[in-house]
Amino acid sequence: MVMLGIIGITAPATGSGKTTVALSLLRSFKKSVGIKIGPDYIDPQLMAMVSGERAFNMDRWIMGRSYRDIPGMAAKDHEIAVVEGVMGMFDGREPVNLSTDYYFRNLNLRYIVVLDSYKSGESLYYMSRGFIGRRSIGVVINNYTTEGHLKKVSGEFERHGIRVVGSIPFDESIKIPERHLGLSLDISKENIDKTARKASEFIDTDFIEKKATIPEISKNNETEVNKKSRPYRIAVALDMAFSFYYRTSLEALASIAELEFFSPMNNETPSHDPDMIYIGGGYPEFYARDLEKAERTKEYLRDFHRNGGLIYAECGGMMYLFSELVNGDDHYNMSSVMEGRSVMKQHPTMRYVTGVAETGNPLFPVGERIKGHEYHYSSSESKEKAAFTLNTISGEKCKGGFMKGSALASYLHIDFYRYLQFAERSIKIRSGRRPT
């Protein structure tokens, strides 16, 4: 398969329409794949709905220098990749540069600028000149109200030699609902595909295809880990309550173990006892009643843990391992693998952190520094041992996460593509200790 290229999508600010344009391009090209800059889980799931391929995340804080491997991974099995930026193009430059501009410059990607024209006229060109650099191939005028309005706005770009590669009218049926400072998953595949198809009618995809960047294929994409045998089993919780997983993380784990997916919401358990259970983040608060009723799954997790089974839980997964989830006046019984409770709150905690492993951590050796991201609308209360000392990107320090025997749980989201050696080491140790 010949890779046609990679194209970036950016904007001056959040809410300009990046996701709509990204989805429209994925809908337009065959064998396409999405790449989302940053730690976001929701946009990649929307991308996957449209392209039919699980999308990648690309985040230099979480992945380290291996973020540069992502374009090559996308190139191996796809014709075109669409890279959606994070926030506005230059946002996130301090204290560590995690801006969309950083990625586009370092990967030398060509890109499109999406501009919300709803309250603008000819001045939109002058306000957006700083976003139109030598690698930009043009702009998409979003949310214009009338043909006369579009002519005013686009005319100023054309007079200055800037290509208008798309113009999308203001239309509520093209908008995607938002929730939790991000895009909602309360939308069907049929509706998201319809939205993407409708938006794609206003985009010059032929021109974009010709201007896309041809990616460099790094040798890092052919890693030794992909050549290993897979002697272990890992069970991964996957349903509407637990759906936040990085593609690279799952592919890394699949290189050392057979993955089996099960649904706690549907009271499922793994068909065979695994060497590790991985419960990712998601929205357990929206499905708390179903999780509470799933007695078979909860009992299985408690028994698995009592027998020394390795459990790793992130964010929503940690909330499920606790004994209680509190949402307003409602109290729900969770699995009780750990003593503790999570309490829903109005405002989110959202930050990059470095976790330093405490004594006795089931997954990481003492003192190991783990880069990750936190994004949650709950607080946690537990008397279990602290798992990490957390250092935030802004310099704050606190305790975070909990551990009990062979279970490790925290708000920290990590990528096993970077930390696979620790998972493999812990699985090997724990599987040797467990009764057969």
Distance CA 191, CA 96 (A): 38
Distance CA 58, CA 65 (A): 10
pTM of the model: 0.92
Per-residue model confidence (pLDDT) at position 295:
98
Give the closest residue to 60 by CA, choosing from 93, 15, 13: 93
And the tokens for 243?
């759906």
Per-residue model confidence (pLDDT) at position 359:
83
172 in the Ramachandran plot: left (φ > 0), alpha (ψ -120 to 50) or beta?
alpha
Report the length, in residues, of the chain: 436
The phi and psi torsions of 10 (rounded to 5 degrees) equal -140, 180
And the tokens for 103?
């990625």
Under 8 Å between Cβ of 195 and 23: yes
Residues 79-136 have pLDDT tens digits of 899 999 999 999 999 889 999 999 999 999 999 999 999 999 999 999 999 999 999 9
Per-residue model confidence (pLDDT) at position 225:
45
Under 8 Å between Cβ of 111 and 139: no
Calculate the dihedral angle through the C-alpha atoms of 45, 46, 52, 57, rounding to the nearest 10 degrees: -50
Per-residue model confidence (pLDDT) at position 1:
53
Per-residue model confidence (pLDDT) at position 222:
47
Per-residue model confidence (pLDDT) at position 360:
78
- The span from the first CA to the last CA of the chain, in angstroms, equals 45
Return the residue matching tokens 């050696």: 421
Per-residue model confidence (pLDDT) at position 223:
44
Under 8 Å between Cβ of 133 and 432: no
Per-residue model confidence (pLDDT) at position 174:
87
Under 8 Å between Cβ of 125 and 112: no
Domains of the chain: 5-211 (3.40.50.300), 224-433 (3.40.50.880)
And the tokens for 93?
């430059």
Give the closest residue to 11 by CA, choosing from 81, 85, 82: 85
SS3 sequence of the chain: CCCCEEEEEECCCCCCCHHHHHHHHHHHCCCEEEEEECCCCHHHHHHHHHHCCCCEEECHHHHHHHHHHHHHHHHHHCCEEEEECCCCCCCCCCCCCCCHHHHHHHCCCCEEEEEECCCCCCHHHHHHHHHCCCCEEEEEEEEECCHHHHHHHHHHHHHCCCCEEEEEECCHHHCCCEECCEECCCCCHHHHHHHHHHHHCCECHHHHHHHCECCCCCHHHCCHHHHCCCCEEEEEECCCCEEECCHHHHHHHHCCEEEEEECCCCCCCCCCCCCEEEECEECHHHHHHHHHHCHHHHHHHHHHHHCCCEEEEECHHHHHHCCEEEECCEEEECCCCCCCEEEEEEEEEEEEEEEEECCCCCCCCCCCEEEEEEEEEEEEECCCEEEEEEEECCCCEEEEEEEECCEEEECCECCHHHHHHHHHHHHHHHHHHCCC
pLDDT mean by block of 10 residues, the chain; 436 residues: 83 95 94 96 94 96 95 86 96 93 96 97 97 96 97 97 97 75 65 92 94 71 53 96 97 96 98 95 96 98 96 98 97 98 95 92 95 96 96 91 97 97 92 58
Per-residue model confidence (pLDDT) at position 408:
97
350 forms beta bridges with 375
Strand order in the sheet with 5-10: 56-58, 32-37, 80-84, 5-10, 111-116, 136-144, 164-169
